[in-house]
């Protein structure tokens, strides 16, 4: 029954996502940059970060802020120079950390030379780098597919009177992976940067690269978004392509690879990451981050319950055990803030941010920290009107719903306030000073005014801070491999407030008790006898919370809102 999990450094690592534009500006132009990252590496090291994941650094027209790339071989001057990047790699390695880069393989910018060539003529040698199709008989798009931005996935191009495919923004045409020349181009790009010494890749939209090239119409027209996913997710050749990348690129370096596949389950994750299959090392588990999202409209908020979260995490912890590996990815540059959607940023900010840290660090999978979550950065309070938002998806949604469909503006804006990814893109709050210490100039996104209360400098030396709690729970995870590899068991599956689970390994067993609610909760440990000699390792409420000895003796105790406890039990004395 027990499956062996091979130890790997990337399973034991803490990954930290740097969203470059918003991390640290070094030259006062209001945009984060590579020298800014270098200046904060000591901070990341002290936090306990092992792997720095840096968002795309290449030139981009910024229809999708650097995820629409127009030259994969150079560095966007706004972020720095090639020498800066080399320096960053050097400084990361000097601190015994690793650095991975984003690899965007599904699409390019429409300003990439390949696409400029491709659109110029049906006879262009680059024509087949992208998907071009004739109009439907009525002159409309070749199929009824809807992009992630809520518009047709087909854009008409006057020059050659054909449509091209784009899963995302119309300035991000999808690459045609059927074409071996495209695959070779992408391999060449990866070799180029791997030879420079980076330690791996975070691969964007990895499960979208193989499409059903018949492009059939979908019947699933009720869903506003992604209604054709059955034809372009987990496509017929996706595993063949990834195995080819493994053989021709990944296998030649000592690196690790992680993929970002939206909307997959544990069976698919095993196909991508089982070591025998030689594709990717891990995929990001994104299901939990969609817990408050209505399936057919990512802007609609859906209240979530703890049962939902237990079901999701339980499935991933159990079903993938020994078969594959995930990155535990609860927040990102594409998502509202962690403490705002899974915690209580208003009433129990510090408590819930700490609980979420313990939750993240005690799950099976490699923990991913998104920048600023380690100090409990919250959704932005200062984005008010649609003009304050920068993300295209929100603007298109607003236009469609309010201007074209006549929906209630307040209702739509409420959805955007709740869900916008712009919340994650306000600059990191380093201090209570001008622009939060992010920049000496005017930041490209205004700094959240709560930088007065929530900032790195204030939390650095406060032993009770969220930041120091992160440092401590990370330190504990690194010292105790059972928290990485141990078997997961939910010991209180029915409880609607308390999430209590164990992680068991050869040497020790861990008990994690989380009051995942804004109310006090009564707790009695089932099977307390088996944990009688456990030891309290970390507690969110050390001065006013539950009595650990009472818990371990099986008495009923009351947990404070968002109180979290971590116990460890050695199996035998040495």
DSSP code string of 119-183: HH-TT-TTGGGB-EEPPPTTSS-SS--B-TTSSBSEEEETTTTEEEE-SS-TTSPBB-TTSHHHH
**Beta bridge partners of residue 257, listed in sequence order:** 201
How many other C-beta atoms are found inside a 10 Å radius of the C-beta of residue 181?
13
Pick 13 or 22: Cβ nearer Ca ion = 22
For residue 27, the minimal CB distance to Ca ion (Å) is 5
Q: Are 75 and 81 in contact (CB under 8 A)?
A: yes
Site for Ca ion in 19-58 (CB under 5 A): 25, 27, 29, 31, 33
Smallest distance, Ca ion to C-beta of residue 33, A: 4
To 10 degrees, what angle do helices 306-319 and 266-273 make?
40
Burial class (CB in 10 A: 0-12, 13-18, 19+), 220: middle
Site for Ca ion in 133-192 (CB under 5 A): none
Q: Which is nearer to Ca ion, 25 or 172 (CB)?
A: 25
Residue closer to Ca ion (CB basis): 438 or 485: 438
Give dist(CA 518, CA 348) in Å, integer: 7
And the tokens for 111? 């300003």
Q: Which residue, 313, 317, 255, is CA-closest to 280? A: 255
For residue 538, the minimal CB distance to Ca ion (Å) is 38
Q: In whole angstroms, what is the distance from residue 367 CA to residue 288 CA?
A: 13
- Cα dihedral 438, 443, 444, 446 sign: positive
Catalytic hit among 25, 110, 204, 374? 204
| Number of residues located near Ca ion, criterion CB under 5 A | 5
- Give least dist CB 431 to Ca ion, A: 18
Please confirm, yes or no, whether 204 is among the known catalytic residues: yes
Task: Pick between residue 372 and residue 561 the one whose CB is nearest to Ca ion.
Answer: 372
As a whole number of angstroms, the distance between CA 496 and CA 451 comes to: 33
**Residue in the shown chain whose Cβ atom is closest to Ca ion:** 33
Q: How far is CA 164 from the centre of its chain?
A: 29
Min. distance of Cβ 381 from Ca ion in angstroms? Answer: 25
The smaller minimum CB distance to Ca ion, of residues 26 and 515, is found at: 26
CB of 426 to Ca ion, least distance (A): 16
33 versus 102: smaller Cβ distance to Ca ion: 33
Minimum gap (Å) between residue 29 Cβ and Ca ion: 4
Set 102, 172, 174, 260: catalytic member = 260
Burial (Cβ within 10 Å: 0-12, 13-18, ≥19) of residue 151: middle
User: Which is closer to Ca ion, CB of 26 or CB of 227?
Assistant: 26
**Residue 84 appears among annotated catalytic residues:** no
Q: Does 18 bind Ca ion (CB under 5 A)?
A: no
| Shortest distance (Å) from residue 21 CB to Ca ion | 9
Q: Which residues of 261-280 are buried (b: 16+ CB within 10 A; e: fewer)?
A: bbebebebbbbbbbeeeebb
d(CA 438, CA 448): 11
Looking only at residues 489 through 508 of this chain, which bind Ca ion when binding is defined by CB under 5 A? none
Say if strands 487-490 and 366-370 run parallel, antiparallel, or are unpaired: unpaired
Is the CB of 438 or the CB of 510 nearer to Ca ion?
438
Question: Tokens 């990191």 identify what position?
Answer: 428
- Dist. CA 326–CA 363, nearest whole Å: 10
Active site residues: 204, 260
By the criterion CB under 5 A, which residues form the site for Ca ion? 25, 27, 29, 31, 33
């Amino acid at each position: 029954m027990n499956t062996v999990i091979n130890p790997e450094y990337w399973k034991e690592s803490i990954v930290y996502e740097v969203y470059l534009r918003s991390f640290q500006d070094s030259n006062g132009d209001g945009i984060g940059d590579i020298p800014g990252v270098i200046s904060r590496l000591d901070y990341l090291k002290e936090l306990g970060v092992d792997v720095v994941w840096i968002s795309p650094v290449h030139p981009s027209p910024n229809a999708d802020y650097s995820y629409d790339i127009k030259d994969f071989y150079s560095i966007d001057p706004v972020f720095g120079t090639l020498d800066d990047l080399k320096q960053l790699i050097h400084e990361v390695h000097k601190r015994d950390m690793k650095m991975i880069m984003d690899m965007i393989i599904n699409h390019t910018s429409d300003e990439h030379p390949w696409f400029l060539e491709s659109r110029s003529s049906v006879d262009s040698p680059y024509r087949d780098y992208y998907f071009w199709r004739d109009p439907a008989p009525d002159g409309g798009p070749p199929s009824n597919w809807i992009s992630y931005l809520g518009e047709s996935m087909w854009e008409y191009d006057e020059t050659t009177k054909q449509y091209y495919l784009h899963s995302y923004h119309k300035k991000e045409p999808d690459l045609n992976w059927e074409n071996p020349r495209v695959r070779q181009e992408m391999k060449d790009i990866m070799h180029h940067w791997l030879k420079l010494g980076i330690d791996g890749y975070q691969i964007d939209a990895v499960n979208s690269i193989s499409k059903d090239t018949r492009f059939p119409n979908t019947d699933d027209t009720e869903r506003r978004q992604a209604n054709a996913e059955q034809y372009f997710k987990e496509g017929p050749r996706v595993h063949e392509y990834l195995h080819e990348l493994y053989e021709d690129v990944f296998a030649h370096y000592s690196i690790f690879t992680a993929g970002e596949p939206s909307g997959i389950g544990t069976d698919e994750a095993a196909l991508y990451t089982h070591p025998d299959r030689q594709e990717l090392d891990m995929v990001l588990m994104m299901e939990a981050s969609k817990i408050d999202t209505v399936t057919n409209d990512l802007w609609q908020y859906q209240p979530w319950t703890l049962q939902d979260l237990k079901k999701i995490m339980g499935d991933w912890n159990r079903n993938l055990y020994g078969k594959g590996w995930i990155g535990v990815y609860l927040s990102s540059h594409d998502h509202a803030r962690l403490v705002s959607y899974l915690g209580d940023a208003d009433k129990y900010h510090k408590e819930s941010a700490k609980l979420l840290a313990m939750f993240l660090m005690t799950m099976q999978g490699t923990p991913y920290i998104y920048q600023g979550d380690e100090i409990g950065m919250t959704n932005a309070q200062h984005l008010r009107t649609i003009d304050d938002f920068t993300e295209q998806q929100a603007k298109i949604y607003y236009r469609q719903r309010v201007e074209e469909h006549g929906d209630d503006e307040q209702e739509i804006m409420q959805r955007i306030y709740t869900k916008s990814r712009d919340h994650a893109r306000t600059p990191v709050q380093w201090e209570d000073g001008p622009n939060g210490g992010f920049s000496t100039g005017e930041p490209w996104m205004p700094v959240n005014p709560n930088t007065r209360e929530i900032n790195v400098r204030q939390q650095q030396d406060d032993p009770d801070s969220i930041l120091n709690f992160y440092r401590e729970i990370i330190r504990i995870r690194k010292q105790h491999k059972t928290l990485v590899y141990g078997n997961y068991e939910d010991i209180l599956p029915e409880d609607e407030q308390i999430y209590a689970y164990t992680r068991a390994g050869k040497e020790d067993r861990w008990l994690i008790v989380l009051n995942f609610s804004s109310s006090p909760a009564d707790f009695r440990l089932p099977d307390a006898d088996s944990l009688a000699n456990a030891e309290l390792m970390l507690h969110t409420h050390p001065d006013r919370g539950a009595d650990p000895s009472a818990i371990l003796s099986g008495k009923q105790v009351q947990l404070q809102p968002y109180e979290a406890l971590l116990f460890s039990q050695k199996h035998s004395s040495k």
